[in-house]
Structure 1
Amino acid sequence: MKKHLAALAGAVTALGLALAGCSGPAAQPAPTATEIVPRQISWLLSRPADGSVITIVKKLAEEYAATHPGFSLNLITTPDRPSYLQKLQTLAAANQLPELFDTDATPFTQKLVKQGKLVDVEAMLTDLGLLDKYRPLALDYQRFDDKGLYMVPFEFEMEFFWYNKALFEKAGVGVPKTLDDIATLCKPLRDSGVIPISVDGQDGWPLLRYMSYYPFRVAGPDYIDQLKRGDAKMGDEVGSKAVNWMASLGSSDCFQDGFSSQGYTDARDLFTSGKSAMYQIGTWELASLTSKDLPADVRDNVDFFTLPTVDGAVTADNEYTVVSGIGMAVSKQTYDPLMKDFLKFVLDRYSERLAQSGHLTPMKGYEPTIPAGSSELYKRALAEVDNLGDRIAFPWDTKLDPTTNTLMQQELTLLVQGDSTPEAFTQKIDASIAENGPKFFG
């Protein structure tokens, strides 16, 4: 135990020195209220190193450095999400947060806000003259329950159900109109020789997406906020419908065999190789789903439908999961004239560059450039942004307390596999929320 603590302390110290050596204002002359003093700053990231966000910001930082000698941006990338969160929490506990870091509107981040460690992003964007340029839904995704905004969005993606038209036709099924129809499709698809739905079961959050759908349709986006506080129960009517629907997906054999040990790439590859008929994911995967390198019998048959409805739905058909990605928080301790000027430079230019890379943007007014060789589906999918409603389904993994979040992901796997029952699932989740919810949302 002592060796473990010593090793952890050493890791914290080493990372802290790395951050301090490249970003700490204490090593620099204190700037005046208006003086910009170039230095190296750090961004702790949890994004693909070759993804559009990092690629674009890195280029913009190089352009900024060209006119600000002495400036540089140190990108500290940890794509593995659990490792990243542990690193972030360790740095926060040691009061060694870098200038910029990735985070969601989670209870942990809310704690940092209460401790006065984060810049108010709404006030910052207003000061920079940028607030009104952002899509309201992009900002709303980053907000806390009290509507406070402490993260900058760098993405804007819609989540759809992608399906293979040829495999649907072969099985004699049509696009599901309701969530219950999805379970009904699974047997004929299985009987035709394909996996009905491929899912990333290894990471937990995809199943939690499915769990959020029924409550969003039946009770609206505020249900999860009631549930996490214990004001609603998993055993209530809304929660019971969600739990029983998840159990029906399992009993209908909707997901691939061994899904719990298969990851993100596995699920995507099952769909793009024509082995599964449906795949739920966001528009960030459009390049993979429309690539000219796909087998022709898959590429020519990929289509999508939005989140199906339910009887008595309180949300509209054009309201579903829309995300603006993991947000970027700004450390209040190191927000100075340089940080303000650099962020203004980046955010003024970022959305235009992102649109040129073929993506929707968190800001309004930028038309994505469709990559050469993409199928017509690429443009048609992105065009759905013009049909969006006013409310979005929030991912539950950014809403629940950490203990319940982990437990629900584990128990959902057992429920869908048939290794647990709706009653057992409900009892465990309600007990966890009763014990842990007040610690974060009391």
Structure 2
Amino acid sequence: MTTANHARLRRAFLPVIAGIGAGALLLTGCSGGSDGGNSSDGATEFTYLSLTENTAVADTLTTLSEGACAAENEALPLKVTNQPQASFDQQLQLLAGQDALPVIFAAGNTPQVAKDLNEAGQILNIGETFDELGVAENILPAASSTIESLYGEQIALPTEFNVEGLWFNKQILEQNGITPPTTWDELVDAAATLDAAGVQPFSASGEQGWPLTRLVGNYLFRTIGPDALQAVADGDAELTEAEYVEAAQAVADLGAEGYFGEGVGSIDYDTSINTFTSGQAAFLYMGSWVLSSFNDAETNQLGAENIGFIPFPEVEGGSGSSDQLAANVGVPLMVSESAYNDEVGAWLSCISENYGSVSLGDQGVLSGFTVNDDSIEVPPLTAELQAAIDASGDSVLWTEALFNAQATTTSQTNAAQLVTGAITPEEFMQLVQADLGN
């Protein structure tokens, strides 16, 4: 994958924080606007509204329209339009209010936007539709689980499927007699051993913040269970409760020992990756999108063969399991209910059968679709992760997935202060909880 493509894809994978209040949605009919290529009998074009900043999905759909889905494209031609991410939610609201949603479109910046559209009857139920089309097996179970966790129903297509966990330097662990940890206590012990040997245990970006808050969220998923943050979103629990503060304390303790190295608050995303791939740190918490860097011999000084992956470890006595991979679906796609017809169904069937192969073969990106082409050459590290995904039937979301925009910003901008001791775990959780508005 080219550096430019990697940059575009990475922007799509990182959590977005823009959001529009549910009350701003204009879902009642009004005059004016384009019909999005639709008629009373459904779509007359296969229109796709894409994020300007992410061309990967549009590129894959274009490839399909010229190849595996050429017949479907002849019956219903693909037409791609773009909208900047900053104004994407507003555009969806406008089109929904005009009953002019395109056939297929990137989901909004926050799950709530899609939920509101769905409640208004504007979104096609993908789960039911794929069952009717006989192609439900083409979506990975873990991807389905992630979509249902995000939206409550199977209403989106998983054009990407990114699992997260701890990547480790095999050489460093072997040289220090460390077995890849499977529990939190083993991870902490490994960090202490590495630190004593003069090796930085973890590389993380405090500037971005989310690589640190992901640790807090995963700890909660392992202790309280996979519904830990759903309970907060529902108002049934608060981050200021003792069992939630415990997670922030556990991550803060790593920082207090200096396990993230010096100046973690000023470390950006690329530097954190380079620190790991140059052999200067033993562990890196990151998603599968980083495979493009690991598989690039020019940027990865370690060599992909010297990198391993483990799920976030279990916490003794906790209700969660390491089988529950932290995951996201990148840029999920949704389909207009009113635009659906037989031609759209044919397109969706073709996408389900071929998207995974084209995405992996052309861009090296793991999607939430099965890969039905055995001829694709997959790098060993990617194949190893694909096997882990295939073996997983469940997933958990990222820490801020159910947060509003303000709480997301507060969480991520204060993460570095949490691990440097500038604020206490109690203060960190209080700040985020205050912005949740529950």
Whether the TM-score (by the shorter chain) exceeds 0.5 is yes
> 25, 29, 32: which one pairs with 2:41?
32
Alpha-carbon distance in structure 1 between the residues aligned to 2:322 and 2:346: 42
Q: Does 1:55 align with 2:55?
A: no
Residues 9-408 of structure 1 mapped to structure 2, 5 A cutoff: 24-25=36-37, 30=39, 32=41, 37=44, 39=45, 41-45=47-51, 48-49=54-55, 51=56, 53-63=57-67, 64=69, 68=74, 71-76=77-82, 84=85, 86-95=86-95, 97-103=101-107, 106-144=111-149, 147-171=152-176, 173-190=178-195, 192-293=197-298, 297-336=302-341, 338-354=343-359, 356=361, 361-364=367-370, 366=372, 371=377, 374=379, 376-388=380-392, 390-408=393-411
Q: Which amino acid aligns with 2:92?
A: A
Q: 1:75 to 1:93 in 2, by over 3 A?
A: closer
Alpha-carbon distance in structure 1 between the residues aligned to 2:262 and 2:375: 38
Q: Which amino acid aligns with 1:286?
A: L
Q: 1:326 to 1:163 in 2, by over 3 A?
A: same
Q: 1:311 to 1:263 in 2, by over 3 A?
A: same
Alpha-carbon distance in structure 2 between the residues aligned to 1:395 and 1:368: 31
Give 1:141 shift.
0.6
Give 1:411 shift.
2.6
Q: 1:226 to 1:296 in 2, by over 3 A?
A: closer
Identity %: 23
Give 1:384 shift.
2.3
1:35-87: per-residue Cα shift (whole Å, max 9, x none)?
x73x36232237743x4x44322211234567627823215275xxxxx1x31
Q: Is the 8 A contact 2:354 2:371 kept in 1?
A: no
Alpha-carbon distance in structure 1 between the residues aligned to 2:107 and 2:254: 31
Give 1:336 shift.
4.8
1:133-162: per-residue Cα shift (whole Å, max 9, x none)?
422221121115783222111233432311
Alpha-carbon distance in structure 1 between the residues aligned to 2:150 and 2:354: 30
Q: Is the 8 A contact 1:62 1:72 kept in 2?
A: no
TM-score by length of 2: 0.78
- Once structures 1 and 2 are overlaid, which stretch shifts more, 169-178 or 413-422? 169-178
Alpha-carbon distance in structure 2 between the residues aligned to 1:54 and 1:258: 39
Give 1:399 shift.
1.5
Aligned to 2:8: none
Size of the alignment, in residue pairs? 398
Give 1:361 shift.
4.9
Give 1:365 shift.
6.8
SS in 2 for 1:303: strand
- Once structures 1 and 2 are overlaid, which stretch shifts more, 268-277 or 335-344? 335-344
Aligned to 2:3: none
Q: 1:92 to 1:361 in 2, by over 3 A?
A: closer
Q: 1:406 to 1:265 in 2, by over 3 A?
A: same
Q: 1:124 to 1:262 in 2, by over 3 A?
A: farther
Q: 1:340 to 1:162 in 2, by over 3 A?
A: same
1:19-42: per-residue Cα shift (whole Å, max 9, x none)?
x77x7237xxx3536xx73x3623
TM-score by length of 1: 0.77
Alpha-carbon distance in structure 2 between the residues aligned to 1:73 and 1:293: 36
Q: C-alpha root-mean-square deviation of aligned residues, in Å?
A: 3.3
Alpha-carbon distance in structure 1 between the residues aligned to 2:306 and 2:162: 22
SS in 1 for 2:182: coil
Give 1:239 shift.
0.2
Aligned to 1:4: none
Give 1:279 shift.
1.2
Q: Which amino acid aligns with 1:251?
A: A
Give 1:102 shift.
2.1
1:151-196: per-residue Cα shift (whole Å, max 9, x none)?
1112334323111122234555443332244344445434544432
Gaps of 5+ in 2: 1-32
Q: 1:254 to 1:153 in 2, by over 3 A?
A: same
Aligned to 2:20: none
Aligned to 1:432: 435
Alpha-carbon distance in structure 2 between the residues aligned to 1:306 and 1:70: 42
